[in-house]
Amino acid sequence: MGRKMLTTRRVTFRLYPTKKQERTLHDWRKLHQYLYNACLSHRITEYRHFGKSISYFDQQNCLPEFKECWTEYKQLGSQALQATCKRVDYAFQRFFQGLAKFPRFKSFQRYRGWTYPAKSGWKAHTTGVHGALELSNLGQIRMRGKARTWGQP
């Protein structure tokens, strides 16, 4: 009877980046969008030409070589890149379960953002309503908002 359910919680804050930070965030989003499309293309090409399906772990293990060839990806966290590969895998899982259509390539407008799993690469400093979001390789970004507080079990 006592099966524990883990919940995923999303907290949304309004960010106020400087012009330089805004440009960097824009570039990072574009890099994640390119990676998403590259992973999708890799899966489609491998299946069409060789009849081989590519798993998430195959793509995850290709990331170090990918970062060596495309040096602009070195500034992004490895776990954030893995989460982008996981998005593609999740899209294919939903397709094969009959819950969604075939995954499609994302334009920049349709690619909403990227994920930092757990506590790697970011930290939130809040003081009531105001605070700062600290991202690795970018620094602190001013933010406004308040996270919902969950009750104690």
Domain residue ranges of the chain, discontinuous segments joined by +: 15-144
- Name the β-bridge partners of 130: 127, 144
- Per-residue pLDDT, averaged over 20-44, amounts to 95
Q: Which of 10, 41, 18, 19 is nearest to 112 (CA)?
A: 10
Q: Is the pLDDT of residue 5 over 70?
A: no
Q: Is the dihedral of CA 91, 64, 79, 20 positive or negative?
A: negative
Least confident segment among 1-5, 18-22, 23-27: 1-5
Token representation of residue 86: 């996981």
Average pLDDT, the chain: 87
Q: Is the pLDDT of residue 111 over 60?
A: yes
- Residue whose tokens read 């500034």: 75
Residues above pLDDT 70, as percent of the chain: 88
**pTM for this model (two decimals):** 0.84
- Per-residue pLDDT, averaged over 33-44, amounts to 96
pLDDT at 148: 60
pLDDT at 11: 67
Least confident segment among 41-45, 121-125, 130-134, 149-153: 149-153
pLDDT at 6: 64
pLDDT category of residue 129 using cuts at 50, 70 and 90: confident
